[in-house]
Structure 1
Amino acid sequence: MARALLFQLLLLTALAAPSQGNHLGPTSRLRYSRFLDPSNVIFLRWDFDYKAEIITFELQVRTAGWVGLGVTNRYTRVGSDLVVGGVLPDGNVYFSDQHLVDEDTLEKDGSQDAELQRLTEDAVYTTMRFSRPFRSCDPYDQDITSDTVRVLAAYGPDDTLKLHRERTFVKSIFLLQMIQPDDLHVPEDTIIHDLELTDFLIPEDDTTYACTFLPLPIVSKKHHIYKFEPKLVDRSETMVHHILVYACGNASTLPTGISDCYGADPAFSLCSQVIVGWAVGGTSYQFPDDVGISIGTPLDPQWIRLEIHYSNFHNLPGVYDSSGIRMYYTSQLRKHDMGVLQLGFFTFPIHFIPPHAESFMSYGLCKTEKFEEMNGAPVPDIQVYGYLLHTHLAGRALQAVQYRNGTQLRTICKDDSYDFNLQETRDLPYRVEIKPGDELLVECHYQTLDRDFLTFGGPSTINEMCLIFLFYYPRNNISSCMGYPDIIFVAHEMGEEASDSMEGMMAMNNVEWTPENIKKAEKACKEAQQTVIIKTIDEIVENTTGWVPEITPTPRGPCSESSGGKVEPQDKAPAGFRTAPVALSGSSTATPRRLPLAALLLGQGAVSWLLATLQSRV
C-alpha cells in the first residue's frame, strides 16, 4: 500500500509540472514555408511560440547526405551558426549545434542549444526538425529577432560534414511573421479588380517612374478591399522596383495617359495618400480580419494614382510591361476602415549621405499636434497594426520611435538587418496606439563604404530614401508627416558658407569626407532644427518645426540558460533567467524534457515527507 501511494504521488508530481521547451511538438503543423535555393532542392517550414521565445524549423532536402540550417549575417559567413544532422547507413542519426570558424570549416558549439524532434531519410529526402530558443546564451548562436534574418542552409551528397559552396545558400526571411494568410478569413463573395499599366514601353533609362490615374471599382454600397498582391510580367519582373497606389481626393482634376510621375507635368505627382504598396522581394498581403480599405461611400476615394518604379540598369530596349496591383474586395464589411501614414525623411536632395561611411544616421521627425486641425474633424487615436520599411541600396537599418510629452514611449517598428531585396508589409505583434500630440521619429542607418561620391535623397535607386509606412485604423485624411534638417545650419557646422538651402546642399560637395567629418555631419544633422511637412489627401500642406529627440535603445530580454555566457550591457537580466531546451544526444529521436527546478524540489520534498511518514509507521 505504501509503495503504491509513493508511486502515485511521484506520477502526479511529474504530470503536474509544466514542460519546458517548444510547445510545437514533432507532429505539429508548421504554418510558414519557403524554398531556400533557386532549384527548389531545399524546402524550409517553420513556426514559433512568441511568448515562450522558441522557434521550430523543419528542413527537407533532396539528398541522402547531411543537412544544415542556421543564421548568418550580411557581411561574412564566418561565425555563422549551423545546426547539422543526418542519418547514417546503419539507420543511426547524428545531430549537433555547430558554427563556422572560417568560410569552410565547422566546429561543434560548447553549448548545445538546439533540440532535435525528428530526423529521417527516405529514397528522396533527408528531413530534420528541431527547435531552438530565439536567443540562447551561447555566443556562437545568432539571435532570432523581428528583424530580417539571413537564413543559411547547406547540405552534402553524403554524411561527410564538409561545406560545398555550390550546396550552400543564404536567403533573407522575415521569420517572426505575426499573421499567416491561411489563418485569415476569405469572403465567399470576393471580387478581383486589377490596377495596371497596359503595354507600357519601359524606357532605356536607369530609373523611370511611370504614373497613371485609374478608377477604383464602382460599387453601389460600401465594400472593403481586404487583400492585394503584385501583378508582375515575367520579362520585366526584375525591372520593377516598387508599385504604389495613392488615393486621390475627390475634388482633384486628374490628367489622362501615362507619364513621368515627377517630371515636367506636376499633375502626375498629384495624390499622395498611399493606400497599398509593394516593393522588391514582397509578396501578397492580406489585412487582418477586422480591417479593410473602404470603397463605395461618398467619403471614399474614387480614383487612384498608380506609380511603378522601374530600374532598367542594363538599359534594355523594347521591353513592354503590364504590371500593377491586384485587389480583392468584398461586401462583407470589416470593423475598421484602414489608412496609411507615411513617415520619414522628406525625399529630396537636402537628404545627403557622405561617401566611405561605415555608418551614417538620418532622421525624419513627425509632430502630430496639427493633425486634427488639418483633418477637418477630430482625429481618433491611431491604432497601428502593420508597417512597411523602405530605403534604397545604402540602407542597413530603420526604426520608428514614439514620444509622448517629451518622453520616449516605445519603438513602434524596426529592422536592424534591413535587406533591400526583401521589402514586405509586416504585422506588429500587438497594436500600437498613437495619440494626437505624440511625436514620431524615423531613424535610418546607411553604409556607403563602396561609394566615392555623395548620395542624395531622390527617386533613383542610386539615390536614397528613408521611409516607413504605418498601416492603421480608423482612417483619417492625413497622408504623410515627414521632416528634414536645416541644411544651412549643417553647412555652417561643417565650416561652409551658405545663405539658402540650395547653397547648403551644394556646400556638401566641398567637404573632405574623412571619418571625423562624417561623424561631425551626422551630429549636425541630428542637432539641426527640423522642418516637418504634413500633407492631407486633398494636397493641403502645413509646416511646423521641431527637434530630433534622443533615442534610448530598447533593452533585450534575457538569454536562455546555457554554458556559453552571452551577457551584454543592454540585456534586461543576466543569463540563466529561463531554462533552455535540452539537446538530444546519441541516436535516439525521442524528445526528453527537463523538469523545472521547482517541480524537482517539490518531488524531493514530497518523497522525503512520505518516507518519514512511512518510517514512523514501521
Structure 2
Amino acid sequence: MSKNLIIVLCFCWVILEECAALSSPIAPFATYKHSAELQKDIADLWWTVDDAEQEITFELHIKSTGWIALGISPAGGMKGADIAIGWVESSGKVFLQDRYSTANSRPMRDNTTQDWFVLQGQEKDGWTAIRFKRLLHTCDSMDVPIKSGTNILIFAYGLVDLDSNRPEVDIMYHGTRRNSRMLPLRSYADPPADEKFLGLDTFEFRSDNYIVPSNDTTYHCKIYKAPSQYPHKRHAIAHKILIDPDNIDLVHHLDLCECDPTATFDDNNLPDDLCDSIPDEIRLCSSNFATVWAVGGDVTREFPEEAGYAVGGNSETKYYMIQMHYDNPRLSSNRRDSSGIRFYLGNELRQYDLGFLTFGIGSTPSGLAIPPKVERFITDSFCPPEATRNFPKSGINVIFALPHTHLQGSSTWTKIIRNNTAVQYLFNAESYDFNYQFQNRLPKPIKLYPGDSFATRCIYNTMNKDDVTLGGERTKDEMCVNMFTYYPRMNDLYACVTLNHDSAWQDVMNTSSPIDYKQVKDWLLTKNWTSESTKQWQNFYERAPRLVIYGKSGYFQDQMLSTLPTYEDFKAEECHK
C-alpha cells in the first residue's frame, strides 16, 4: 500500500417518514410527500414531485388574508427569481400570477408564458392557502429550473389582495414580510417528530464539557466504547444530533466513524484530544464512516422500514470515534461544549443492515488544488471496477446521498459506469450550498452491482479568492466527496477515493526526487496564478495520472490509473414542455 495513503473523512446516512407539526389551521387540500415550516407560526409549505410528469405541486399557507408568494431563487435574493403570487378574493375565487424579478425590486409579470398553474385556494382564520403547480423545467427564460440538489425558496406576503379588476394596480412592497429557506425539493428527507420515538431504548455518545479552543478551526476527536448492554443484535431505527444550544454557532459538523475491529484501547483512558495530536491512536477509527451531521441539515434522521443500523450482539465494531468540527471565526474563548448523538433502538430486527460508502477525492493538497479567480474549475475522480468486485451478485440498494464540498463548491455528481457506459446519476447535486448540507433521500433505491465503476465530479467557483484553495479539513480548504447509505451492508468497502499520482506532481514540478505532501503544498502556495496558468492547471487535472485508494480502515488497496478512463456518457437532458 502507498505510504501516501491518507484517511479521508467520516460521514453518511438517513431516512424519512413523518413530518413535524406545522402551524396552519387550514388542512391541506391533498396528501403530499413532503412538508416544511418555512417560518414558525407564519408560513408552511407542502409539496410533491412527480418525476414521471416532471412537475411539482406546491401548497403554500401563510398567515395573511392578503396576497402570498413563493419563489425559486438562483442565488437567494429577488434578482433572477421565478415567483408565483396568489390571492383569494372574498367571493372565494383564486388568482395566481407568474412573475419574474430582474433585480431587488417589484417582480414583473412573466411576458413569455404562464408556467405556474393554480389548482385550489381558500382563506380561513386569518390564513391564506393556495395549491398550485409547475414543471420542473419550463424551458422559459423567465423561470428558474428546479434542479436536483438544494433549492433556494423565497416567500413573502402582503396585507391586502391585488385588485383583479384593475391590472394597472401592481403589488405593493412587502417590507419585512419575507424570508427564505433552503430545501432539496426533489430529495427531501422529512424529519420525524421526536414523539415518534418515545419509550424506545436509546444510547448516546456526547462530549463532556469540552473546552473549545479559541482557534478559527478545531477538529476534536474522541473515542467511545460501543454500548455493551445489548447481548443480542439490535437495530437503531433513527438518530438525533444533539447540538449544545449554547454552541449552535460553533458546531459545524459531527462525524461518527466505526473503529476497525483490530483497534484496541484502554477503556479507562480512551483517546480524547485534537485529532492532529493523536493521529496514531485514531488511525484505525478515521475512515469507516457511520454517519454525519453538517451545518444546515436536519438533526433527526429515521431509517427505512426494511433496514437499520446494527449494534450489540456479536458486532465487530467495539469502538466508535466522533470527530467534531468547530468553526470559530470570532476566536471565542472559554466556550464549553457537550454536543453528541443519540440512537433510537427498535423493538424488532429489520431485514437488512445499513452500510455506508464514499466516492470522491482525497482531502489533501495532492488531491485538490484549485486556482483563484476561476468561475468554473472542474475536478474528476474515478472508482474502477476492481473496487466493487466483491459486491453481492444480487447488488446493493442505495437509498441516501450526502454530497459534500466546502465554501467554493457549486455542484457535484457521481455517475454509475457499467460496461464503460454511464447508465445514470447515483446522485446529481446540480445546485449545492455548503451552508445547507442535507441528506438526500433518493426517489427510489438505486441498484449497484459487482464490476460497476463510478465517476465523481466537483465544480468550484473561486472568484472571491485571491489565493489557491487546497484540499483539507478546514472550512477555507476544500473537499470533494459524495457519501451514500445502502443495504445490505458489506464489510470490505467503505471508501474509494483518488489523489493525483506522485508522478504527476514530479512532472508538473519538474523534479525526479520523491514527493511528499508538504513539498507539494509549499510549491502550490508559492505558485504564481495567471489566466494562462489557470487554463494550464485545468489541463493538468484532466490528464494527470491518479492513485485510487479503496477498501476499509487497515485494509486499503491502491491502484494507479495512467489517465482517467473514458466512457460513453449519456446525453444531457433537453428541456421539453
TM (norm. structure 1) is: 0.79
1:442-453 matches, cutoff 5 A: 442-453=456-467
Please state whether the residue corresponding to 1:501 is helix, strand or coil: coil
Q: Which residue is 1:365 aligned to?
A: 382
Q: Distance in 1 between matches of 2:504 and 2:421?
A: 26
Q: Is 2:392 the counterpart of 1:381?
A: no
1:106 counterpart residue number: 107
Amino acid at match of 1:237: I
> In structure 1, how many angstroms separate the alpha carbons of the residues matched to 2:145 and 2:291?
31
The structure with the larger Rg is 1
Aligned to 1:196: 206
What residue is the counterpart of 2:545 in the other structure?
A: 529
1:172, CA displacement in angstroms? 1.2
- Taking structure 1 as reference, are residues 179 and 77 closer, same or farther at Cα in structure 2, changes over 3 Å only? closer
Identify the residue that residue 126 of structure 2 maps to in structure 1.
124
Show CA shifts across 1:251-270 (max 9, x none).
Answer: 21236142112335421343
Which deviates the most, 161-170 or 61-70?
A: 161-170
* 1:30 is the counterpart of 2:32: yes
CA distance in 2, matches of 1:370, 1:60: 49
Q: Could you tell me whether the CA contact under 8 Å between 2:34 and 2:188 is conserved in 1?
A: no
**What is the Cα deviation at residue 449 of structure 1?**
0.7
SS in 2 for 1:388: strand
Change (3 A) 1:549 1:450: same
Aligned partner of 1:402 in structure 2 is 416
Q: For residues 198 and 36 of structure 2, what CA distance do their matches in structure 1 show?
A: 28
Residue 365 (structure 2) aligns with? 349
Instruction: Name the SS of the counterpart of 1:270 in structure 2.
Output: helix
Matched, 1:213 2:213: no
The answer to whether the 8 Å contact 2:192/2:301 transfers is no
What amino acid sits opposite 1:176 in the alignment? R
5 Å matches for 1:68-467?
A: 68-74=69-75, 77-88=78-89, 93-109=94-110, 110-159=112-161, 161-164=171-174, 166-177=176-187, 180=190, 190-218=200-228, 219-254=230-265, 256-271=270-285, 272-283=287-298, 284-350=300-366, 351-370=368-387, 381-467=395-481
1:283-314 CA deviation, whole Å, 9 max, x = no partner? 12211111111222324312211111111111
What is aligned with 1:43? 44
Letter in 2 for 1:192: T
Question: Does the aligned pair in 2 maintain the 1:87–1:120 contact within 8 Å?
Answer: yes
- The structural deviation recorded for 1:365 is 2.5
Letter in 2 for 1:142: V
Alpha-carbon RMSD: 2.9
Distance change >3 Å, CA 474–CA 104, structure 1 → 2: same
Distance 1:188 1:460, change over 3 A: closer
Question: Could you tell me how far apart the structure 1 residues matched to 2:258 and 2:125 are?
Answer: 54
Tell me if structure 2 keeps the 8 A contact 1:178–1:429: no
**1:96 and 1:114 in contact (8 A); partners too:** yes
In terms of fraction of residues, the more helix-rich structure is 1
Task: State the AA in 1 paired with 2:447.
Answer: E
Preserved CA contact (<8 Å) 1:361 1:444: yes
Segment drifting more, 179-188 vs 521-530? 179-188
| Counterpart-to-counterpart distance in 1, 2:567 and 2:405 | 20
**Range with greater deviation from structure 2 (299-308 or 161-170):** 161-170
* 1:42-61 matches, cutoff 5 A: 42-61=43-62
Aligned to 1:501: 515
Q: Does the C-alpha gap of structure 1 residues 370 and 100 become closer, same or farther in structure 2, counting only changes over 3 Å?
A: closer
Between 348-357 and 50-59, report the one with greater CA deviation.
Answer: 50-59
> 434-443 or 304-313, which moves further after superposition?
434-443
Aligned-residue offset at 1:58: 1.8
> What code does the residue aligned with 2:421 have?
T
Instruction: State the partner residue of 1:614.
Output: none
Is the 1:487–1:505 Cα contact (8 Å) retained in structure 2? no
Letter in 2 for 1:353: I
What is the aligned partner in structure 2 of residue 12 from structure 1?
none
**1:450 match: secondary structure:** coil
Structure 1 residues 354 and 491: alpha-carbon distance in aligned structure 2, compared to 1, 3 A threshold: farther
Distance 1:254 1:133, change over 3 A: same
In structure 2, C-alpha distance between the alignment counterparts of 1:488 and 1:410, rounded to whole Å: 32
For the residues of structure 1 that align with 2:437 and 2:569, how far apart are their CA atoms?
24
The residue that corresponds to 1:20 in the other structure is: none
Count of residues in correspondence between the two structures: 531
SS in 1 for 2:249: helix
Task: Give, as a single letter, the amino acid of the residue that structure 2 aligns with 1:121.
Answer: E
Q: Matches of 1:396 and 1:274 in 2, distance apart?
A: 24
Return the alpha-carbon distance in structure 2 between the equivalents of residues 552 and 168 of structure 1.
46
How far did residue 489 of structure 1 move? 2.5
